[in-house]
Chain A
Amino acid sequence: KAGVTQTPRYLIKTRGQQVTLSCSPISGHRSVSWYQQTPGQGLQFLFEYFSETQRNKGNFPGRFSGRQFSNSRSEMNVSTLELGDSALYLCASREQPQGDFNSPLHFGNGTRLTVT
């Protein structure tokens, strides 16, 4: 099976712009979660989607949003970009058969966003 695919790999944006990142999960995986990784804060949980519904959310401002499509692909959007949004954004998918919330995470290689 193909792994988790994130596009694009690198992105440079200007303050105030918005950005959309894409994540294609492993075939058959219904859960997609998003994470931000910075040198100062480390890894932080953004949100998780399951069957097109946001199931839970981390402590990030409303500028960070996401959605999941019927084929389980997910997008994350950040509006009104700030310098502090520069980070590696990772997504992960999980199989979660029959609503079992405990299954291993499979990570993509991430999108490195630079805000100037």
Chain B
Amino acid sequence: KNEVEQSPQNLTAQEEEFITINCSYSVGISALHWLQQHPGGGIVSLFMLSSGKKKHGRLIATINIQEKHSSLHITASHPRDSAVYICAAQNTGNQFYFGTGTSLTVIP
């Protein structure tokens, strides 16, 4: 049983499309992290949130604590957004559980 489930696994979008990646978790959390991994392995933290909504540029992350669900939205997608997006649940014991990732390809 996976503590964190992400969907979809793979996503192909046309440039400028609005994209949504979903994450459901079963553990009690102190924070939910969204990470971006480009080919070659480097991981960048996009968001850390424990309630509500956060926005950085074209990226928006939301979380519903009652439903144990978070979403990552990308508005006006661009080919440089092509990467793997990973959701990570930080439980109240500060352990991390990761989703399997969503591989996003944005086509010009």
Contacts and interface: CB of A to CB of B under 8 A. Distances in A.
Contacts of B96: 33, 35, 45, 58
Question: Contact size class for A?
Answer: 20 to 34
B76 interface: no
Interface of B: 30-31, 33, 35, 40-45, 48, 50, 86, 88, 90, 93-101
Contacts, number: 58
Which of B35, B96, B99 lies at the interface centre, i.e. has the most chain A CB atoms within 10 A of its CB?
A: B96
A79 B101 CA distance: 29
B65 to A, nearest CB: 14
Contact of A45 (B31, B42, B95): B95
Looking at chain A's contact residues, the main secondary structure is: strand
Contacts of A37: 41
Contact of A107 (B45, B48, B95, B100): B45
Nearest to B33: A105
A91 to B, nearest CB: 11
Interface string A32-61: 010101000011110010000001111000
A107 B42 contact: yes
B44 A107 contact: yes
